[in-house]
Chains A and B, each alone.
Chain A
Amino acid sequence: MLELRKDLFADERDDNLKEIGKGTQRQDMLGHVTGTSPYFDDHKLQGMLHLKVVRSTHSHARLRRIDTSEA
C-alpha cells in the first residue's frame, strides 16, 4: 500500500532523509544487550541508606508506637 502512495506524492517526496523510512538502532540497545544499562538496583552509592517496608499484621489497628531497636 505504501508503494502505491509513493506515486501519488512523487514530486513531494524526499527519499534521502537520514532517519525516516530507514531501519534504525535504538540508543539504549547496546546497553541492554551487554547488560550495562543501569537500573535502579544497579546503583551502589557511598553511604547509601536501605529501606525495608514492614507492614502491620493487623488490618485495622491503631498505631501507638514503632519499635526500631532491631532496625
Chain B
Amino acid sequence: VNVMAKTALQFRHNGRETATFVEGGANLLMVLRDQIGDMTAKFGCAQGGCGACTVLIDGEPYLACLMLAESVEGRSVETLDGIRSGPNLHPLQRAFADNFAAQCGYCTPGMLMAAKALLDRNPQPSRAEVVEAISGNICRCTGYEPIINAVLAAASGGRARA
C-alpha cells in the first residue's frame, strides 16, 4: 500500500466549496495552512495540547492538528478568516481588541474560535461557562482574565444573531 497516495478531498471552507488532494494521514491544520493558504489557524504544539489550531467543524470546536483531513469530507470548516462579515469585525474580535485580550496574539485565533463556538450555542454564558469553553486553549501572555472579560463583553454586547 502506498501510504503517500493522495486522496481527493472536498469540504466547505468558510462557506466556500473547496477541493484539494491530500496525502494519506495528513492533518487538517497542514491542509488549511499549506494547501489552502489559510494561516489563521496556528501551528502551536501539533499534539492537541495548546488549542492554537482550534477550528469549527459543523459549528463544533475541534483541534485541527489532531483532525485527519479526510474526515472533514463534505463537512463545513470555519476558521478565524471566516468569522467577520465583510469589513466588519465579529463582535468577539472587537471585544478582544477593546479588552486587550491579545498580547503576542498567537493563541488568539484559537481562543476566538472556541469562544465563537460557545456564544453560538449559548449567547449569554456565565463566567464559569466561558472558562470551561476556553479551557483547552493555552495563553502564556495575558493570564486569561482579559480574554474571559472579552468573551463576556461580546456576549452582553447584544450582537445581531443570524
**Chain A positions 20-67 with a Cβ under 8 Å from a chain B Cβ:** 25-26, 28-39, 41-42, 44
Least Cβ–Cβ distance between A69 and chain B, in angstroms: 19
Check B43 against A29 for contact (C-beta < 8 Å).
Answer: no
Please give, as numbers and ranges, the residues of chain A lying within 8 Å of B79 by CB-CB distance. Answer: 35
Least Cβ–Cβ distance between A52 and chain B, in angstroms: 14
Check A28 against B97 for contact (C-beta < 8 Å).
Answer: no
Check B43 against A28 for contact (C-beta < 8 Å).
Answer: no
User: With A35-B108, A37-B105, A39-B106 as given contacts, are A29 and B97 in contact (CB-CB < 8 Å)?
Assistant: yes
Check A25 against B97 for contact (C-beta < 8 Å).
Answer: yes
CA distance A67 to B33 in the complex (A): 32
B109 interface residue (CB < 8 Å to A)? yes
CA distance A15 to B41 in the complex (A): 43
B39 interface residue (CB < 8 Å to A)? yes
A28: contacting residue among B41, B96, B105, CB under 8 A: B105
CA distance A29 to B102 in the complex (A): 7
Least Cβ–Cβ distance between B74 and chain A, in angstroms: 25
B13 interface residue (CB < 8 Å to A)? no
Please give, as numbers and ranges, the residues of chain B lying within 8 Å of A36 by CB-CB distance. Answer: 39-40
Least Cβ–Cβ distance between B148 and chain A, in angstroms: 16
CA distance A26 to B86 in the complex (A): 22
Interface string of B30-60 (1 = CB under 8 A from A): 0001100001111100000000000000000
Please give, as numbers and ranges, the residues of chain A lying within 8 Å of B100 by CB-CB distance. Answer: 26, 29
CA distance A37 to B96 in the complex (A): 15
On A, residues with C-beta under 8 Å from B are 25-26, 28-39, 41-42, 44
